[in-house]
Structure 1
Amino acid sequence: MLNELLSAWPILIALMVTGVFAGILAGLLGVGGGIVIVPVLYFLLQFFDVSPTSAIEIAVATSLAIIVPTAISSIRAHYFKGNVDLPILKWWSGFILVFAVIGSLLITYVNGESLTLMFGVIAVCVSLNLLFRASAPSLFSELPSKLWQGVMASLTGLLSVMIGIGGGTLGVPLLTSFNVKTHRAVGTAAAFGLVIALPAVITLLLVGQAPTDAPFGNFGLVNVPAFLAMVPLTVMFAPVGARIGATLDQAQLKRVFAVALLITGSRMLYQVASL
């Protein structure tokens, strides 16, 4: 028993460190922390003899559960700084919610390797776009029609849920491409994260089943010990990230976001290639 507890300490420390970084990134970039949480859980779970296919499913579901309280903390910090665009949030939320539920249902049917590949491809594409265009002007002068905004919101909800991330990974580059200021895009995307994660987690808890090789503490597809280890730290450090973000200019924010995405996305693609 003592040996088992001692062997678990490195895992606990890794989860806690991940919680700190995920919280800071959630506040800094409006991403909900999933771009850190998903790959870390994906690799840690495999130390417990969980298959890569099961690991990505558990990592995605657990990440979405962690995003809920993290996003609430991040939203509060950004709202008080005036960085949440309420008209955009109101229009996009309905589309995001519906397609978040659809995406969470698809998770139970899509192959785990496909989810891993999807995460890597989306992360790398978005990161390269932001990295090479960090100081470039917006592609468009204003947001498109309400119809096209609905399409963008639907894709943001669907794809974000399926790879276990908040609204920032897709929401921030989309909004900034249409001349929404980066700080405002980050704050609004933080709110997207809550609209994405909350219905998705409820759906997964109702319909998701724990894989046969799931580790100790799984409730459906959500790993409760990982959730409990990380949530206090993500919630605590999300406002810290928001304060840091307020001191950086838009080009710096985009570069930080791009580097974080590029590292995590590349690592996931490497894992798929080695399977």
Structure 2
Amino acid sequence: MTDTTSGIISYRLIVVGCGNMGYALLKSWITSEAVDASNVHVVEPVGALRNRAAELGVAVHNGPDSLPDQADLIVLALKPQAVSAELPIYRRFARQAVFVSIAAGVPIVKLAALLGGAPVIRAIPNTPAAIGKGSTIVFSGDGVPDVALNNVMFLFAAGGAVHRVEDELLVDAATAISGSGPAYIFYLMECLTAAAHELGLPKELAGKLAKETVHGAGALAIQADNEPADLRRQVTSPKGTTEAALSLLMADEQLLSLLRRTTKAAFDRSQALATHA
């Protein structure tokens, strides 16, 4: 069923939903050759999204009725609001397949109940997985075979870093950081671009500088042995330009306070989705 030593999973894989996150994952798995496209089936009702998935060489379906009878792994790339209506349709695979849900906030106990007691894993990836720079948190429910969990970890590793947690509450905490985090960073790029343009830089150049600065700083932080605070101090010369800027950014911990409120809002929403899904 699986040969991760050769760098490919021979799972019969079904992906339910192929929006932005589902497509990012699918693209990372196909382009990295973690899976064979001929073993993958995608269920996506939206024609444009279905056609986009088909360009990766996978089989596509408008709905579940035309799916094959056998599957080893089913990835549920659904919005939390769609879970209750959609999951019971896939109960026919419960005895043979392991399910992986990327729906924020929906707990294992609810997912398993909707699927007739099937083994379920929760995974919270983020969109940089499309280029192998993602970050995924994984939590495994009861009854998931070790080989299946290992295969899921291997699969998501094709999109970047994978971290397993033992407490499901940490999945919601991670959702507020890595799951939603790319949007925070993209907004920071927007703000830097706007500020740079106001200082007189051409808009195109301002955008490039914002992207390159964020990209470079992130890459340096990943590779360096230093903590981010140490890296910040290295850039900050006494009485220099950076110190002048940071004196505003760090005043009264305003940015820290804002980020605490930001991530808490995402965490609270994740918790709320658990009761409304």
Q: TM-score range by the shorter chain?
A: under 0.3
Give the TM-score, by structure 2 length. 0.25
Q: Which has the higher contact order (CA 8 A, sep 6+)?
A: 1
Q: Which has the higher helix share?
A: 1
Give the TM-score, by structure 1 length. 0.25
- Computing the radius of gyration over CA atoms, which structure comes out larger, 1 or 2? 2
